[in-house]
Every structure is written in structure tokens, then in C-alpha cells.
Amino acid sequence: MVEFIDNLTQLLVVLTGCILSGVFYLRSRRQPYFLLCCFYGCFAFSILYWLLYTILVTDAPPLFYVADIGWVSCYLFLLQLQYSLLDKEERTLRSRLPWLALVIIIPLTVYFISIGNVLYNLIVGVLMSAMLWAAIRGLIWQRKHPNHGKRFFHLAVIGFIALEYCLWLSSYPWVSNTLTNPYFWFDFAVTASLLVLFPAVRKAVRT
């Protein structure tokens, strides 16, 4: 029951985000809103598939690749969204700090490859590394060229990535289907971070 409420809540949040960002795109024709709409849409597709799968198919292994494709797609759209919000000068920034993204993500990717699908975890690791790299570089740029809207966006992306990894780590091993399982608390936190992404993009676009 807790898992159903968790997934349904997340589905409603991403569907709301998809609709709102779609409306804002139709009004403004700003590319970041379109990419955000695609991000939410792919996430919603994956959650809906997962939700239906867990309800209708209860005796099969919880591994299926339709939802995985949706999640990989949403990460691609989020990466494109980050790129669309880059300042032209920011692309020439040289700093060693973004290498922290690789220091953090590579060991986690190796761990998940050791217990799961090699190709999927490798793709996710590459995308997460790229997104974290872009977010860290964005924060460094904002220290030199303050823009509170874009700083909020970069922090929102970092928060989303951190919570996703906390969620994945808490799923091994699976504890229970009750609120004593930390997995559900991390998933509710991921849902909150998804909710924050929309106002974060709005602030970034307006400033």
C-alpha cells in the first residue's frame, strides 16, 4: 500500500509538472520549458509503467526495460535542459572542481554494475556524471557572475541527483513494504525534488 501511494504521488507530481511546463512553453516558446516538459513526460511514462506493472504483474521479477528506457530518456532531457541554460561564456570556464563529479559517480557506477545490469548502469553513470559536472561548473560560474535563479536551478539538479543515488542505494537490500523502509522516505524526497525543478527552471529562465 505504501509503495502504491508513493508511486501514485510521484506520478501526480510529474504529470502536473509536465502540464505546467507544457503550458509555459506554449505561452513563451522558450526551449527550457519544452525540455522540462519532455523530462517530466518521460518520468511520468516510467512511473506509470512501473505502477501498472506492480499492480497487474505480481509474480514476475521486478526488472523490465520499458521503464528503464523512460528514465534514461528523462536524464537525457535534463542534461539538454542544463545545456540550454548555459551562458555562452560559461562554456569556456576552466576549473578542476567539476572533476568531483567523476570522483563521486564512478565508484557508485562500479558498485551498481557489480549488482545489476552492466549496460544500463553504465549509461546512467555517464549521464549522471555529465549532469553533476554541469551543475558543479554552473555553481562555480555563478560565484563569479551571480544569478540567483540559475544558482537555484543548479542546486535543484544536484539535490535531485543526490537523492536518486540515496534512493538506489537504499533499495539494496529491500527491507519491507512499510514506512520502516528508508527507500520510501528517499523516494518521497525525490518526489519533492521533482516538484522543485519547475520553479527552479522558471527562475533560471526569467533571470
Which pLDDT does position 60 carry in this prediction? 56
What pLDDT shows up at residue 63? 55
pLDDT-flagged residues of the chain (< 50): none
Place of cell 521479477: 61
Longest dimension (CA), the chain: 55
pTM reported for the whole predicted model? 0.91
The three cell numbers locating residue 11: 506520478
Q: Which domain holds residue 73?
A: 2-206
Neighbour count for residue 68 (Cβ, 10 Å): 17
* Residue 81, φ and ψ in degrees, nearest 5: -65, -45
pLDDT number for residue 59: 62
**Distance between CA 37 and CA 16 in Å, rounded?**
10
Amino acid code (one letter) for 154? H
Which CATH number is 177's domain given?
Answer: 1.20.1070
Q: Does 32 sit behind a cis peptide bond, omega within 30 degrees of 0 on the bond before it?
A: no
Whether the CA torsion 197, 199, 77, 134 is positive or negative: it is negative
How far is Cα 85 from Cα 77, in angstroms, rounded to an integer? 13
Q: How many domains does the chain have?
A: 1
